[in-house]
Homo-oligomer: A and B are copies of this chain.
């Protein structure tokens, strides 16, 4: 049992942070603050959960971290763009993110919108520039753009806003969460697997793993928003203040925690045909499931 999940996450996170620093080191003009704005949010830290999952998934099927790194970084760029736009005054109107002022609070709304747009667009450039085979690039771009666009994350955010203050069923909340958070987590795991050389069967199993993991992750986030207990980098209780539709808000905290545990176990069980190379994926699920609460 020499495997240390925190060490694994920290080492893969370092690879991601290094490549992102490299990608965002040059300024392209001295007139605008676009570069500073992009850098501010992309290098603001964050757990790097999605890129680490992407790498762990590639490694679970025998792939190498270096090969999948551009895809992992592109996914983090897309995640970061979504945070910048979600925080805008017209959306969730947040002032803190990852413990520091939100992008528009530092650079203004116009530059924040543009920085998000640029991170999203450049993410596809980073994938297209990578050295993996064109066939895989197309497959991965299809996967990620579907998960991030109108059939995925963007619709999730639109639903989240539209449902604020409304009575909603648990099914609607689950669907909203799947779109808003789960779809991109799924794309991270599936893309990693594809680049790593997964068989079609393995892709199906990785997809199931990530679907369960994604919902568990969101439920735990919502519980943490109520209970606090972990530095979530934003103000506690913001979901309640904003009358957001959340899982614990509907079924209560106890049932929400049970559900998260159940989903975590289910996620891990999807990997039963994988060998010890999938240990990081299994341990990350338990690690996320056990976030302090």
Chain A residues close to B by CB (< 8 Å): 28-29, 31-32, 34-35, 38, 81, 85, 88, 90-91, 108-111, 113-114, 116-122, 124-125, 127-129, 133-135, 137-138, 141-142, 145-146, 148-151, 154-155, 157-159, 161-163, 172
Which of A114, A122, A148 has the most chain B CB within a 10 Å cutoff?
A114
Query: What is the chain B residue whose CB lies nearest that of A124?
Result: B145
In whole angstroms, what is the CA distance A32 to B155 when docked? 8
Contact yes or no, B159 A29, CB < 8 A: yes
Contact yes or no, A150 B28, CB < 8 A: yes
Contact with A141, one of B29, B32, B141, B172 (Cβ below 8 angstroms)? B141
Contact yes or no, B121 A148, CB < 8 A: yes
In whole angstroms, what is the CA distance A146 to B159 when docked? 31
Contact with A113, one of B32, B91, B111, B128 (Cβ below 8 angstroms)? B91
Contact with A90, one of B31, B38, B110, B128 (Cβ below 8 angstroms)? B110
Contact yes or no, B31 A150, CB < 8 A: no
Other 14 A-B pairs with CB < 8 A, given A118-B154, A124-B141 = A28-B155, A34-B155, A90-B108, A110-B161, A113-B113, A119-B150, A121-B145, A121-B148, A121-B149, A124-B145, A125-B141, A125-B146, A134-B134, A134-B135
